[in-house]
Amino acid sequence: MSSTGNGAGRRTRTRLLALIAGGLLLAAGCAMPQARRASTEVSGKEAAGGPSTAAPGRAHSGPATVQNVALLPRKIIYTAEVELVAESLSVVARDLAELVKARGGYVAETDIGGETESPRQGRWKVRVPVEQFEAFMAGVTRLGEVRTTRTDSQDVSEEFYDLDARIKNKKIEEARLLEHLQRTTAKLQDILAVERELSRVRGEIERMEGRLRVLANLSDLTTVTITIQEIKDYVAPKPPTFATQIGRTLAESLGQLRDFGKALVLIAIALLPWLVVAALVAFPVRLLVRRVRSARATKARPV
């Protein structure tokens, strides 16, 4: 009787445990789809650009700035150097001026030099629009035989657009200072402090705008330095004849004699003041010596 009661109790407890476990599994199964649905909704909002818990103005600020700069036109400074050899420097100079004009540029510097019966050399520094750079370089290489060429580029896009953004922020700060200055009823000391700050902000704006103009000019116009060596009019020096050698020797001798005479005259002029001083000193000394000698001679005579 006792064993039968114990067996029935165990079966009852086993059934209760099975029912509790089944209920827990059912509840967990119902909760998981809701969690997945909630997670999907949150992910959908984030993908669609919905608000997030991150602080505004900080999240993704770095990548967004890089992407914005990448979408803007690039600001690249191009420079080039070309060295050519040509038969006639005059013809090349004329053709180069026409090429620069045709490409919408201008000549910034020109330097042409050379002696008689010797090859001349010319150097030009020109500025051409960056969109005409390749066409201009192709035209330059056709002016003569290319010896050397070098091209360099510098990307200043980040600096350019950073300056542009800073200028805009500084102008907003300037406007706020002006508004504060117009509405303020503070003491004179506070007003002067605001004016000093306003002057400082305006100075920064002017400096940044100046740098921005320089970058814009350098990136819009390419600088090309062209050096051309002339070879057509070069004449080798002829060996001098005997008569020419005699004439040159006589001319050199006369020149040396003339220089020697000039040197003597200059030396005499330089010594003249000293000679006058020496004469003034020597004359009294000579008189004194004569008197001493005369006195000795008188004493030495027999009576």
pLDDT band, very low/low/confident/very high, at 25 (cuts 50, 70, 90): very low
Predicted local confidence at residue 49, as pLDDT: 37
- What is the DSSP-derived secondary structure letter of residue 73? P
Amino acid at 197: E
Fold of 70-157: Alpha-Beta Plaits (3.30.70)
Residue (of 80, 88, 99, 97) closest to 145 by Cα position = 88
Summarised one tens digit per residue, pLDDT across range 203-255 is 999 999 999 898 888 888 899 999 998 886 545 457 788 888 898 899 999 99
Summarised one tens digit per residue, pLDDT across range 141-189 is 999 888 898 988 888 888 888 888 999 999 998 888 888 888 777 788 8
Summarised one tens digit per residue, pLDDT across range 268-292 is 999 989 988 888 888 888 888 888 8
pLDDT at 18 over 80: no
pLDDT at 31 over 50: no
DSSP alpha helix (H) spans, the chain: 2-47, 61-71, 89-102, 133-141, 157-183, 188-220, 242-300
Predicted local confidence at residue 9, as pLDDT: 47
Predicted local confidence at residue 115, as pLDDT: 63
Mean pLDDT value of segment 6-18: 47
pLDDT band, very low/low/confident/very high, at 76 (cuts 50, 70, 90): confident
Cα-atom radius of gyration of the chain, to the nearest Å? 50
Domain residue ranges in the chain: 70-157, 158-216, 238-286
With beta carbons less than 8 A apart as the criterion, state whether 227 and 84 touch: yes
Most confident of 89-93, 260-264, 297-301: 260-264
Predicted local confidence at residue 301, as pLDDT: 64
Summarised one tens digit per residue, pLDDT across range 113-128 is 876 556 788 999 999 9
Mean pLDDT value of segment 71-94: 87
Average pLDDT, the chain: 76
Q: What is the pTM of this model?
A: 0.46
76-86 vs 221-230, strand pairing mode: parallel
